[in-house]
A = this chain, B = another copy of it.
Amino acid sequence: MIQQILAAQATLKDNGFRLTKIRKLILEVFFSNTTVPISATELKSQLFALDTKVNKTTVYRELEFLSAQGIIVEVNAGDGKKRYELNCYCHHHHVLCLRCSAVECVTIDNCTLEEQLNSVDLKNFKITGHALNFFGLCAQCR
């Protein structure tokens, strides 16, 4: 983990961007939590818990920035707000708790979704991606 976060920091510097205190903290949050996509509001809270008060504009801009750099990816979990997770370059899906809005990643072994698409009438859309979200109650709320 530690070498990965250093690699990400080096990449940013190499591309002419700065390693501010806030940016480093945000990287730490994402790299220390690799299984749960978080929203802007949640990130703001986590930074506050780390004794760092950050303006919401900065949070939104930083999420967009890290996303553009390919370090994190935007995730649609079906709860109407943008969420982000560390870019793991692996295909997976998400499960959302309808009561507390907790989100986790799930992996479907031998997922045949892509193949099934070949036989589907996609209304002449040019498909660039898909999102599969499961809904229900998490371990705490069930």
Q: Which residues of B contact A51 (CB under 8 A)?
A: none
Contact of A137 among B117, B125, B130 (CB under 8 A): B125
A128-B137 in contact given A80-B80, A116-B112 (Cβ < 8 Å): yes
| A136 touching B131 in the complex, CB below 8 Å, given contacts A80-B81, A123-B104 | no
Q: Are A125 and B95 in contact (CB under 8 A)?
A: yes
Copies of this chain, tallied across the complex: 2
Kindly state the separation between the CA atoms of A128 and B96 in the bound complex, as whole angstroms. Answer: 10
Chain B residues with CB under 8 Å of A76's CB are 78, 80, 133
Contact B135 A106 (CB under 8 A): no
CB distance from A23 to the nearest CB of B (A): 26
Question: What class of interface size applies to chain A in its complex with B?
Answer: 35 or more
**Chain B residues, Cβ within 8 Å of A8:** none
Q: Is A50 interfacial (CB-CB < 8 Å)?
A: no
**Chain B residue contacts of A124, Cβ below 8 A:** 138-139, 142
Determine if A135 and B128 form an interchain contact, defined as CB atoms under 8 angstroms apart: yes
Question: What residues on B are CB-neighbors of A106 within 8 Å?
Answer: 120-123
A119 close to chain B: CB less than 8 A: yes
Within 8 A of B (CB), among A70-107: 76, 78, 80-82, 95, 97-98, 104, 106-107
Residue of B nearest to A124 (CB): B139
